[in-house]
Amino acid sequence: MQIYESQEERDQHEHAMEALAEELHREVGEVQQVYERALLDLKSDAKVKDYLVLFVARRTRALLQQSPRA
């Protein structure tokens, strides 16, 4: 499965990753790894994708808050 279906979608998710990295004081690359795994997992079952960024960001935030810093 391709992660991003358009450049607009990619931009939207990259913005979310950057915001999470800043909020959690983590490297963007670290956030990206967790975020894209969560995105692939949630996207495969999503019927409506309008709020996918919010759900993926929420899951990524929770996962990163549970894990020690790299």
- pLDDT single digits (tens) 12-68: 999 999 999 999 999 999 999 999 999 999 998 888 889 999 999 999 999 999 987
Number of domains in the chain: 1
Indicate the pLDDT class of residue 3, thresholds 50, 70 and 90: very high
Is 2 within the bounds of a domain? Answer: no
Name the one residue in this structure whose structure tokens are 């992660």.
3
How many whole angstroms from its chain centre is CA 60?
6
Rounded to whole angstroms, the Cα distance separating 14 from 48 reads 20
Query: Which two three-digit tokens encode residue 48?
Result: 């409506």
Domain that holds residue 37: 7-66
pTM: 0.91
DSSP readout, 28-42? HHHHHHHHHHHHHHH
